Every structure is written in structure tokens, then in C-alpha cells.
Amino acid sequence: MTQPGDPRPAASALSLGERVAEQLRRQITQGEFAPGQRLSEQALSDDLAISRNTLREVFRVLTKDGLLKHVPNRGVFVAVPSIASIIDIYRVRRLIECQALAQAYPRHPAKKRMRDAFEEAMRCRAGDDWPGVGTANMAFHMAVVELADSERLNLLFAQVLAELRLAFGMLQDAEFLHAPFVDRNLAILELAEAGNFEKAAAMLSDYLIHSERLVLAVYARRLADGSIGDL
């Protein structure tokens, strides 16, 4: 069942191919596929109990979204984000998230989802589950965008988060990437809960600049040592 604020359409409104595409997109967002990983058509069609023709259509959709890449004579792979795409992701994040937060309705229920996501991140941090912290962080920022009350923005941002998770997975250091931002999420949340949305948006803007610089620095370091390559 679709929860309030969930950017995804109800399952009953989707075709089989759309449901499978949404499932794989969600798995990418949750870090279940690694950047550059080859996807076996036979294994996935068996696991998902769908025909290979349906799966090929799903692959076409996710390739168009930039989440997969088809390499002739080699198969379909999870995409490897470039530096340019990471910069563009953060540009989109600043435009959408900061505006949604600055203009939020004081009693918007998405604030509760921000709080729930932060508390989940704290539980994961206490258990040293840094990929879990990353997933909770994604939920926190999705809730920020839900403050805008725009179905189109929700759908667009869900796609952005899937691409962002690919970038995070490629850097292979979840603790380094997420540890600095758990407490920053709390500071933003407390400002939002107090109704100080403009200050929260300004803090979020600085947060995103810091996050972008950190991600690009790790990417550049791994590129230099040959850890990242094209497909």
C-alpha cells in the first residue's frame, strides 16, 4: 500500500513492467546493486518471475533514466556516475531541497517523516550500520522534498536519489560519507520543527555544498588510483 507522501503511484495503477522498474529503482536507492555490476538477464527474470521480454523493457526504462548502461556484446550494467553527473545531481538537489524547505507549511506531515528518518539513522549509527545510515539519510532528504507538496518533484527527486546512491556506492566508504551529516540533519530538523524554515534552508544549502565537495574529493582520489573505471 502506498503511504502518505510516498512519491510512487499505487501498485494497482502500474503495469507489470512499471512495477518491476520501480522495484529495481528502489533497490538501487537502497544500495542493493553496486555501480558497474553486470545484471544477468536470466537470473533476474527468474528471481522476479517475469519474462525476459518484460525485463528487457525494464532495462530500457532504467537505461533511459541513467541508472543502467547497455554495453554492446557485453550486457547490461549498473551505471557508473561521472564527475559531471555528480555535480549536476547536487545542482538539482540545491534547487529542489532548499526551496522546498524554505517555503514549507509549518504543520506539514513530512516533518514527522524527517524525524522518523533521523531516528532511524541514529539507530543504524549506534549499530555501526553505515549503509543503513545512508538509506535513512535518503529518506530524510526525500521527506524534505515532500514539504513542497508536488507529485512531480517527488517523482523527479526519487530518480535523483537513485543516481546519488550509485555515486555513494561507487566510493565504497559509507561511514566516511555519512558520519558527518547525521548531526547536521538533526540541526536542520530542529529548525524546521521550530518553524524557522528559512534558516533551515540556508543550513541545508551549506550542508549540500560540503557533501558535494566530500563526494567529489573521494571520487577524484579513487579515479587517480585507478579504483574507478568506465564500463
Confidence of residue 11 (pLDDT cuts 50, 70, 90): very low
Half-sphere exposure of 154 (CA within 13 A, CB side): 15
**27 pLDDT more than 90:** no
**pLDDT score recorded for residue 176:** 86
**3 pLDDT more than 80:** no
User: For 117-123, which contacts have Cβ atoms below 8 Å and span 24 or more sequence positions?
Assistant: 117/142, 117/143, 117/185, 118/182, 118/185, 118/186, 118/189, 121/178, 121/182, 121/185, 122/182
Q: Per-residue pLDDT tens for 187-229? A: 999 999 999 999 999 999 999 999 999 999 888 887 787 766 5
Beta strand residue intervals within the chain, DSSP E: 38-39, 68-71, 75-78
**pLDDT score recorded for residue 107:** 92
**4 pLDDT more than 50:** no
pLDDT above 90: percentage of residues in the chain? 62
Global pTM? 0.80
Cα(66)–Cα(78) distance, rounded to whole angstroms?
A: 9
Q: Is the dihedral of CA 189, 192, 196, 198 positive or negative?
A: positive
Cα(114)–Cα(187) distance, rounded to whole angstroms?
A: 12
**pLDDT score recorded for residue 228:** 65
Q: What is the 3-state secondary structure (H, E, C) of 146-188?
A: HCCCCHHHHHHHHHHHHHHHHHHHHHCCHHHHHHHHHHHHHHH
Q: What is the largest CA-CA distance in the chain?
A: 56
**pLDDT score recorded for residue 174:** 84
Confidence of residue 12 (pLDDT cuts 50, 70, 90): very low
**93 pLDDT more than 90:** yes
Cell 532495462: give the residue.
59
pLDDT above 70: percentage of residues in the chain? 90
Range 114-125 average pLDDT: 98
What's the mean per-residue pLDDT of the chain?
Answer: 88
Range 160-167 average pLDDT: 86
Nearest to 114 by CA among 133, 139, 131, 96: 139
Q: Which distant-in-sequence residues (6+ apart) come within 8 Å of 118 by Cβ?
A: 136, 140, 182, 185, 186, 189
**pLDDT score recorded for residue 218:** 84
**2 pLDDT more than 90:** no
CA 202 from centre of chain: 21
**pLDDT score recorded for residue 230:** 62
**pLDDT score recorded for residue 229:** 59
Q: Per-residue pLDDT tens for 121-156? A: 999 999 999 989 999 999 999 999 999 999 999 989
